[in-house]
A and B are shown apart, each in its own frame.
Chain A
Amino acid sequence: MANNGINASYLGAAQLVGLALSAVSTAAFGFMSTPTYIALALSFVVFLVLLQSANLLLYFLRKLVLAIPLLLGVCTLIFILIELSPGDISSKFFNPNVTPEVKALIEAKYGLDRPAIVRYGIMLKNIVMFDFGRSMSQERPVFEIIAEALPNTLLLSAVTLLIIFPTGILLGTVQGVKNGRPADTGISISSLFFYSMPSFWLALMLQLIFGTYLGLLPFSGPYDLNAFDQTGWQHFIDRCIHLILPGLAMGLASAAGTARYMRSSLLEVIRQDYIRTARAKGLPEGVVIRKHALRNALLPIITLMGLSLPFLFSGSVLVEQVFAWPGMGRTILLAIFEQDTPLIIACFFMFTLVVVAGNILADLAYALVDPRIKFD
C-alpha cells in the first residue's frame, strides 16, 4: 500500500506550478534557456521528493523500461510506412533534364541507394544515440529543428492545460452542485457546443472576432513583428498576448470535455455514504463539497490530465497551422509534405515520448493520491 499521507492537492499544485514556471520562463527568456531547464528540473525534483516511497520509484522505473519497446515499435511502424509509400525526397529533384548520373548522385547524397535494412539499422542507431541524423529538406541537424520547435509546442500545451483544467473543474463542480437546475442545463448545452467544435474552425472564428472585428488581440504568430525592439517586459507581455488565442482554440473543447467528466465524477461521489455522514453531522454544504466531495471527485481528473496530452498534440497540428505557430505540428506537417524521413521519424519519436511520459505521470499520480491502488 502506498498510503504515505500525501495530499492530492499538493501533487497537483506541484505539477501545475512546475508547468507554469517553465511556461513563464520560456515566455520570458526565450527557447531552451537555462531558467526553463531549471524550472522543469525543479518541478521534477519536487515530484521525486513527494514520491518518498521505494515501491513507487520501482513502479516508475518499470514503466519507463516498458516504454522502450513501445517507442521502437512506433518508429518501426513509421519506417515501414515510409518504405511502402511511393517516391522519396529525391523525386523532387528529378526532371527530364537530370541525367541518370546526377540522379544517382542525389540518391547517394541522402543515403537512399542503400538497402532498406541498412537504413533501418542507421535509424535505430540514430534513435539510440538520440541524434536523429540530418534533415533532408532543411539541410541541417534534426536535433536543431526539434530543439527550436518542441519548446514552442510545450509552451502552447502548458498554457492550454492551464486553461483546460481550472475552467473544466470549476464548470463541472458548478454543474454537479446545481444538478438538474437551469445552471446545469445551460452549462451542459454550451459545453457540448464547444465539445462538438473542430478546433481549427474555432481558431478561425476567434481570429475573425478578436483579431479582425474587435481588433483586441494579435491575429497570428508567436510574437510581434518588431519583437527585436522590445525590452524584456514588453517582450514578455507580447508573448503572453500572442498565446491567448491559440491557447483558447486548443483548450476550450477539452475544457468542455473535462467539465463533463468532472460533473459525472462529482455526482458519483455525492451519492456516497460518507457525504451523507458529513451532511448529517451538520457541516455546512460548502465545506461538504469542498473538503469531502471535491477532493475525491478530482481523482479521475488527474488521470485525464496525463491522457489529454495526445489530444493536445493532435490539436496542435491544426491550430499551429492556423496561427502560424512554429511548433512540432507545423514541423511534422512540413516533414510529411517533403517526405523528409529522418525528420518524420524524429517527430514521431518525440510525440510518442511525450504521450508515454504523460501516461506514466498520470498512472503514477493516480497511484500516489489513491491509497486503494496497489502496485507490485
Chain B
Amino acid sequence: MTAIVKRKAAKPPTQAWAGMAIPGLGHILTGKFTTGVGLMLIVSILAWAAFAGFPIVDQVVWPWPNGLVRPELERARPLSWHGVVSVLGFFVIAGTTWFAAYRHARPKEQTEAEYNSNRAIFLRKFTSHNTGMLGLFGVLILVIFVVLAPMIATFDPITTGAGNVSAAPGMYVPPARSGVEFTEARWFLMGTDKYGRDVFSRVLFGGVISLTIGLISVTLAATIGTVLGATAAFLGGAADRAIMWFVDMLLSLPRLVLLLAITGMFRLTGTAGIYLIVVILGLTGWMGVCRIVRSQVLSLKQQEFIQAARALGFSSPRIVLRHLIPNALAPVIVYCSLAIGSTMLVEAGLSFLGLGVPQPIPTWGNIITDGKDSLINAPWIAIFPGLCIVGAVMSLNLLGDGLRDALDPKLRGR
C-alpha cells in the first residue's frame, strides 16, 4: 500500500510572477525558453488579431459555402458565421492562454497517487520533451491562425483585384491614373497573385481548408481503421484473412495514384469538391491504423483482463468497445498526429495537379499551382504557401514524436 502523501508545492520563483502580466515572460526568466517563446508568440498573434482584426471581421466574407457561387451576395457583406466563430475563438484562446500560463508558472500541490498517475507521468514526460513542446506550439499557432483567419486576413481571398497583378511583397502605392480601383496605399505581406488577390489572405484561408481536410479525413480514417482492425483481430479466421488481404491490396497501390484515379473520375465543383476530397482521403488512409490496431488487439486478447471479461459473460461488442479498443489507442493517437501531416501533403499534391479542391477556393496546394505558372516573374506566390506547408507538417511531426516518446512506455528513458 502506498501511503497518500501530500507533495509539497515547490516555492514559485519570484520571476515566475512576471508571467501574470505577459504570459511567457515568467517562463523565459526562469529558464523555460521554449515554453516562454511559444506563449509569447501566441499572445502576439492574439494582440495582432485584436488590434488589426476586429475592424475588418465584417468586411471579409467567408467564401464557403455561400459567397463563392452567388456573386450577388458580395454587395451585402453580412457578418458571416465564420466571423462570429473567430471572435468567440479569440476570447476562448486568449482566456485559455492566460489561465494555462498562470497555472504552469505556479506549481500546485498534489498527492502521491496523483503524482504517479498515468496522466501526470505523461504530462511530465511531454512537457520536458523540448522538440515535442516546440511542435505543440507550432500546431497551436497554426490553429490560432486558422480560427482567427477572418480577423487576421487583410483582404477577401476570392475576390480579384485587391491590388495590382503580381505585385511584390510590401507596400503598394498606386500612382495617379494607374487604372486600379483603389487610391490609398495598401500593404501586401506576401504580394499578390496573377489575379491581383492578396496572397497572405489566400494562404490564411487556404490553411483553414487544408487543416480542416487533414483533421476530418484522419478522424474518419482512424475510425474505419480501428473498427476494422479490432474486428479482424477479435474474430480471427476467415474475416481476419479477408480484411488483411484487402488491406494488403490497397497498400500495394501507391496512395496518391489511387487517389488520382478516384478524384480524376469523379470530379465535383465548388463546396461538394471539398467534401468529396475529405471522404476519399478518409477512405484511402485507414490501412495503417487497421494494421496497428489489429496487432495491438491480437496481443491484448491473450491477457488476463480479457479472459476475466469473457468469464463474466460480457458480450463481444462490449469487450471490443470497452476493453480492447481503449487499451489499443495510444499508438493510434501517435499515428494520427503523424498522419495529419502526411494527409495534408497528399491533399496539397492532389490540389497541385488540379484534381483536389476545385480552383477558386484557396488551399496551399492550389496557391502553389497558381505560383507555378508565374514562377520566375512572381516567385512569392509559390514560396509562401510552401513554407506554410513545411512549417505545419514539421510541427505535426515534432508533436507526434513527442507524443510517442511520452506515451510509449517501451521508449521511455531512451
| Residue ID in chain A nearest B347 by CB atoms | A198
In whole angstroms, how far apart are the Cα atoms of A195 and B338 in the complex?
12
Question: Is A255 on the interface with B (CB-CB < 8 A)?
Answer: no
Find chain B residues with CB under 8 A from A74 CB.
249, 252-253
* Binding-face segment, A25-33, A43-51, A127-135, A347-355: A347-355
Interface size class of A (residues with CB under 8 A): 35 or more
B390/A332 in contact, CB under 8 A:
no
A314/B382 in contact, CB under 8 A:
no
A85/B266 in contact, CB under 8 A:
yes
Residue from the list A310, A321, A333, A339 in contact with B265, Cβ < 8 A: A339
Residue from the list B348, B379, B386, B397 in contact with A192, Cβ < 8 A: B397
* Binding-face segment, B101-109, B225-233, B293-301, B369-377: B369-377
| Residue ID in chain A nearest B365 by CB atoms | A198
Residue from the list B253, B257, B341 in contact with A317, Cβ < 8 A: B257
A81/B265 in contact, CB under 8 A:
yes
Q: Mask for B278-310, Cβ within 8 A of A = 1, else 0?
A: 000000000000000000000000000000000
In whole angstroms, how far apart are the Cα atoms of A317 and B353 in the complex?
9
Contacts known (A212-B376, A317-B260, A344-B261); A196 close to B397, Cβ less than 8 A: yes
Measured CB to CB, the closest approach of chain B to A374, in angstroms, equals 20
A204/B371 in contact, CB under 8 A:
yes
Find chain B residues with CB under 8 A from A90 CB.
none
| Residue ID in chain B nearest A271 by CB atoms | B414
Q: Tell me whether chain B's interface is mostly helix, strand or loop, or mixed.
A: helix
In whole angstroms, how far apart are the Cα atoms of A355 and B257 in the complex?
12
Question: Is B352 on the interface with A (CB-CB < 8 A)?
Answer: yes
| Residue ID in chain A nearest B130 by CB atoms | A185
In whole angstroms, how far apart are the Cα atoms of A321 and B353 in the complex?
8
Question: Is A82 on the interface with B (CB-CB < 8 A)?
Answer: yes
In whole angstroms, how far apart are the Cα atoms of A352 and B257 in the complex?
10
Find chain B residues with CB under 8 A from A205 CB.
382-383, 386
Measured CB to CB, the closest approach of chain A to B313, in angstroms, equals 40
Find chain A residues with CB under 8 A from B390 CB.
193, 196-198, 201
Question: Is A200 on the interface with B (CB-CB < 8 A)?
Answer: yes
Contacts known (A77-B249, A208-B376, A344-B261); A311 close to B254, Cβ less than 8 A: yes
Question: Is A166 on the interface with B (CB-CB < 8 A)?
Answer: no
B348/A336 in contact, CB under 8 A:
no
Question: Is A162 on the interface with B (CB-CB < 8 A)?
Answer: no
Q: Mask for B253-284, Cβ within 8 A of A = 1, else 0?
A: 11111001110111000000000000000000
Measured CB to CB, the closest approach of chain A to B114, in angstroms, equals 32
Contacts known (A192-B394, A212-B376, A317-B257); A204 close to B264, Cβ less than 8 A: no
Known: A196-B389, A200-B348, A208-B376. 8 other contacts (CB 8 A): A85-B266, A196-B390, A200-B352, A205-B382, A310-B254, A314-B255, A318-B256, A333-B264
The 7 A-B residue pairs with the shortest CB-CB distance, nearest first, are: A85-B265, A336-B264, A201-B386, A196-B393, A314-B256, A314-B254, A196-B394
Residues on A lying within 8 angstroms of B by beta carbon are 70, 73-74, 77-78, 81-82, 84-86, 192-193, 195-201, 204-205, 207-208, 212, 267, 310-311, 313-314, 317-318, 321-322, 332-333, 336-337, 339, 344, 348, 351-352, 355-356, 359
Residues on B lying within 8 angstroms of A by beta carbon are 248-249, 252-257, 260-262, 264-266, 341, 345, 348-349, 352-353, 355, 365, 368, 371-372, 375-376, 379, 382-383, 386, 389-390, 393-394, 397-398, 414
